[in-house]
Structure 1
Amino acid sequence: MGWFGSRSRREGVPIEPALLAAAAENPGGSVAEIDSTYVDDPNGYVPPEAIRGAWLVDSSGKPTGEYQENPRHGVPQDDFSRLTGPDHWLGWLGDDPAIAVREGIEESLRAQVADAVVEWVKILETPRFLTGGRRRSEDDQVMLVTRAALAAPFALSVRTTQHGRSILLGVFSWAAVNLASPEARKDRHWFDLGVGLDWAGERLQERIYELDGEDGTADL
């Protein structure tokens, strides 16, 4: 709750059964008020911006009447800071890695539902990265990057005409090979729902080799 704003006291203590039940389960804590404009299932993933604020709960599990506003409340926004923040080379993704990954995610969704529109994407953890290369010659210390891959855990909101809004959790993986020969470059995306980063990370190296059919070991 450290990112919430100042406390205020509201007229009347809320009596909604769901809020009172949640308060009873969190004595001494707080109960968040979710904005249904942005989230259909408050029991699933809730982006920080979709929280209006929180009711404080006393030690007996009852709302105190004190309320903390969330200064971040509003339309959920993309967050790729965990992708771009680490000091890892992402030049193979172009000038703007965040845009490249977002477009890759949207492309994966539209391959399944043509009119899918991504409302927001949040990268939830630092991705797993792989980078491999070779020396230009036996005596040359300069390395040429020949292959790279990443696995990025995400939460996102997508809208389709048939299904409306859905909030999805999973891992988006991207591998590219033949990076030293742009004319021969090959890329592939994997969009795995309901899996964790460890699962996707374990498959990243086999996927990067599956892409170009190589055997042996790269300098990863």
Structure 2
Amino acid sequence: MDTNGAHVGRFGLWGRGSRRRAVPNDPGLLAAAAEHPGGSVAEIDPTHVDDPNGYVPPEAIRGAWLVDERGRLTGEYEENPRHGMPQDDFGKLSASDHWLGWLGDDPAAAVRAGIEESLRAQVADAVVEWVKILDTPHFLTAGRPRSEDERTLLVTRAALAAPFALSVRTARHGRSVLLGVFSWAAVDLAPPGVRRDRHWFDLGVGLDWAAERLGRRIYAIDGADDTAEG
């Protein structure tokens, strides 16, 4: 049985009843249980995750074992109804009430394509298996008043920074699960300018880090050098 010591909180994680099973003689699982008395530990499906100590998508969790207050497995096991192939999740982007018209009719598809384009710029045969936006992106929008109506703005530039987890496959490196922030800025969105776009793909950084730089990056497209932050 393939397990890891991921602590997944109190039992009842998926709101369904548990079943009793024979406790597996797995040293890693037993050690994880000892570290999390009164909680539960996850059983990770290695089909979808190569490093169970890194980011684990919810679908890669087969189920969870209940741990008693002394850190021992009770034999109670709850299956994860979501277990299966990890899927894209752009809910944090789609649920935003921020204006996303600059991304076209399908903002989620546009952001996914931008992420894949950024990866293929580094490795030509990169294939993105799934992408999950982990938090509400940071947005910037700038514009100028419409000449005929000073109460409304004509958007001239826009940007976002979206924290992500994703799985990518390449012929040379196989599958990798990556964490970071994808940033996208577009300028000259209103005529008579010619629209220009730029992406940044930053690994191992947080949203605050990327949000702090987004204000500079949205103007870097005008000619300033931002390569040290890209």
Aligned to 2:36: 26
Name the aligned partner's letter for residue 8 of structure 1: R
In structure 2, the residue matched to 1:89 is 99
CA distance in 2, matches of 1:70, 1:180: 48
Total equivalences in the alignment:
213
The residue that corresponds to 1:217 in the other structure is: none
Is residue 201 of structure 2 the alignment partner of residue 180 of structure 1?
Answer: no
* Offset of residue 129 of structure 1: 0.2
How far apart in 2 are the matches of 1:146 and 1:20? Answer: 58
Q: Quick one: percent identity of the two aligned structures?
A: 77
Judged with a 3 Å threshold, the aligned counterparts in structure 2 of structure 1 residues 79 and 194 are, in CA distance, closer, same or farther, namely: same
Alpha-carbon deviations, 1:152-199, whole Å to 9, x = none?
A: 000000000000000000000000000002761000000000000000
Q: Relative to 1, partners in 2 of residues 1:74 and 1:53: Cα closer, same or farther, differing over 3 Å?
A: same
1:41 to 48, 51, 57: 51
1:1-220 aligned at under 5 Å gives the runs: 2-3=13-14, 5-10=16-21, 12-137=22-147, 140-181=150-191, 184-213=194-223
How far apart are the structure 1 equivalents of 2:192 and 2:177? 36
Contact 1:35 1:50 in 2 (8 A): yes
Conserved in 2, the CA contact under 8 Å of 1:4 and 1:69? no
Residue 141 of structure 1: how far off its partner (Å):
2.2
Letter matched to residue 97 of structure 2: D
TM-score (norm 2): 0.90
Letter of the aligned partner of 2:133 in structure 1? I
Deviations 1:113-134, CA, capped at 9 Å, x for gaps: 0000000000000000000000
Given that 1:34 and 1:51 are in contact with CA atoms closer than 8 Å, whether structure 2 keeps it comes out as yes
2:109 is matched by which residue type in structure 1? I
Work out the CA distance in 1 between the residues paired with 2:63 and 2:149: 62
Normalised to the residue count of structure 1, the TM-score between the two structures is 0.93
Q: Retained in 2: the 8 A contact 1:4–1:53?
A: no
**Corresponding letter in the other structure for 2:75:** G
Where do 5+ consecutive residues of structure 2 fail to align? 1-11, 225-230
